[in-house]
Amino acid sequence: MLDFISPDPVALHARLRPEAAACVDLTGNRSWSYRELDTDIQRAVTVLRAEGIAKGDRVAILARNNVHQVILQQALMRLGAIFVPLNWRLSQQELGLLLKDCTPSILYTDEDIPELPPGCRSKSFREFASTVAVAEPGLRCTPHSGHDTCIILYTSGTSGVPKGALLTSQFLLATAVNFNILGEVDTGCVFLCDSPMFHVIGIVTQIWPPMLRGGTFIVSPGFDPEQTNERLGNPDFGVTHYFCVPQMAEALRHASNFAPENWKKLKALFTGGAPNPPAHIRWWLDRGVRMVDGYGMTETGTTLGMPLSRDLLRSKAGAVGLAGPLTAIRLVDEDDRDVPDGSPGEILVFGLNVVTGYWNRPEERGRSFTADGWIRTGDVGRRDEDGFISIVDRRKDMFISGGENVYPVEIEAALAEHPGIREVAVIGIPDERWGEVGRAYVVMAPDRQPDHDELARHCQSLIARYKVPKEFRFVTSLPRTGSGKVMKHVLRREALAEL
């Protein structure tokens, strides 16, 4: 007997409010009612069945934002299969490694096709959408357990090697409930969806909350400051909720058509994925826009969030808020003992919104979770006397550039393949545009003298462009401990002293 049934909010709202607007695809200039969306999802089930897709199979996709990505994900969940969205910003080599890891049956894409693993075939995503439009809706599937994996989202681990977080439909539902309560989401909500669907924000946080409430999500192919400003002010759209990383918010305010006074229906600008300075939050409040910061990660979805009270947003600027109703938070010291309010501690998370583990990496659960099931975030927070949590540091060397997690060890490994490099260490440094960017400290081989451009091109052949260091510093040695480890805290301190 199933103890938790996989949720299907589209099927529910196709009966509760069949003619209500479910979604809009701005690329194809098409809209769906809930009845139409439910029908297309069931048509996609027919198409996938004809392709031989069954429970537990993986189906990968490499494509820009599109409502048909949501249709594909929902259809796979009805079949009990697994949706694997891939980051189109990655290099061909990186994509090939991810495909080898998840071994999908099909890769849907209209991009350049990376090396496919045995048993995987490539299919056109445009043809998938065309086929869905004319397919016959098949019989409804038998409900599946909400504890089964339905999405694999790749995120880099502490070693810099990508790992696939296992998201269940229970995770999707809990993230939606958490955000709906914290973000005051109701049935009349309209979400504008710019964030890429290979991120948890893109495929979960900006889709599932409105879908659960029977609201509307508007899907754009990607973020563009001018177009997003226009869409936020478009009275025909009536956008109520918008999610972005702080760097996107900065781009909005510097766009030529920035006019927040036209954002008549917007409840708040929700930010996450990177540090958001208190001064920026107050700047937006001064212009009549509630900027609501929160905290989450691929493994925990929506975890913490600020209330929409203008007074609290101002007085608590810099905080990421309170835990959602389906989530528990602990702040602990290095011995896993709870720290008192006001003291820093690593954030541990427990709840229905936590992943079950990682694809093909059972050992990662032991490293990432406590024995009693709390996930270790690696982030350090501080709780104030009112229970609001602020992020004060990251224990990991990871830095966040434009909302993307970047792991220095991965960049160091790529640079080490260059014959002119003897030693290298990479850190994140502050950047006005991207929040943080990489700086590589390089010790050259005696007989080689590559310049900045050569090293950048070398990196671009192996890793995504956003991971390539913005700066290369050529040094004669790296600071090391007695055991030979690079003391990156020394490099960071020197870098900050230059600002």
pLDDT reported for residue 420: 87
- The H or E element spanning position 390 is strand 389-394
Average pLDDT over residues 284-313: 96
Mean pLDDT for 399-423 is 84
Given a cut of 80, is residue 196 above it in pLDDT?
yes
The pLDDT of residue 379: 85
* Predicted pLDDT at 423: 84
Under 8 Å between Cβ of 298 and 322: no
Residue 194 reports pLDDT greater than 70: yes
Q: Count Cα neighbours of 120 within 13 Å in the Cβ-side half-sphere.
A: 24
Give this prediction's pTM.
Answer: 0.84
| Token pair in block for residue 418 | 């260059």
Higher pLDDT residue, 234 or 246? 234
pLDDT for the residue numbered 43: 98
Beta strand 399-401 pairing with 471-474? unpaired
Residue 241 CA to chain centroid, in angstroms?
A: 17
Per-residue pLDDT tens digits for 265-278: 999 999 987 667 78
Least confident of 75-84, 276-285, 387-396, 414-423: 387-396
Q: Which residues contact 268 (CB under 8 A, 6 or more apart)?
A: 183, 241, 242, 289, 290, 291, 292, 308
Pick the CATH number of 9-393 from 3.40.50.12780, 3.40.50.300, 3.90.25.10, 3.40.190.10: 3.40.50.12780
342 burial (CB, 10 Å; 0-12 / 13-18 / 19+) is exposed
Over range 396-420, report the average pLDDT: 83
pLDDT digits over 107-158, tens only?
999 999 999 999 999 999 999 999 999 999 988 888 889 899 999 999 854 3
Question: What H or E segment, with its residue span, contains residue 82?
Answer: strand 82-85
According to the CATH classification, is domain 399-497 in 3.30.300.30? yes
pLDDT tens track for 83-93: 999 999 889 99
Q: What is the percentage of the chain residues whose pLDDT exceeds 70?
A: 96
Stronger pLDDT, 115 or 245, i.e. the higher one: 115
Beta-bridged to residue 163, according to DSSP, are 155
Q: Is 101 helix (H, G, I), strand (E, B) or coil?
A: helix
- Report the mean per-residue pLDDT for the chain: 92
Confidence class of residue 260 from pLDDT cuts 50, 70 and 90? very high
Specify the domain boundaries for CATH 3.40.50.12780 within the chain: 9-393
**Banded model confidence at residue 5, pLDDT cuts 50, 70, 90:** confident
Q: What pLDDT is recorded for position 158?
A: 35
Beta bridge partners of residue 301, listed in sequence order: 297
Does 6 have pLDDT greater than 80? Answer: yes
What are residue 349's phi and psi, to 5 degrees? Answer: -125, 140
Cα distances (Å, whole numbers) of residue 276 to 217, 292, 389, 498: 25, 10, 14, 22
For residue 483, what pLDDT is reported? 43
Picking from 126-135, 141-150, 168-177, 182-191, which range would have the lowest pLDDT averaged per residue? Answer: 141-150
Quote the pLDDT of residue 159.
Answer: 43
pLDDT at residue 484, rounded to an integer: 54
The boundaries of every CATH 3.30.300.30 domain in the chain are: 399-497
DSSP label of 59: E
Residue 477's Cβ-count burial label (10 Å; 0-12, 13-18, 19+) is exposed
pLDDT computed for residue 2 by the predictor: 56
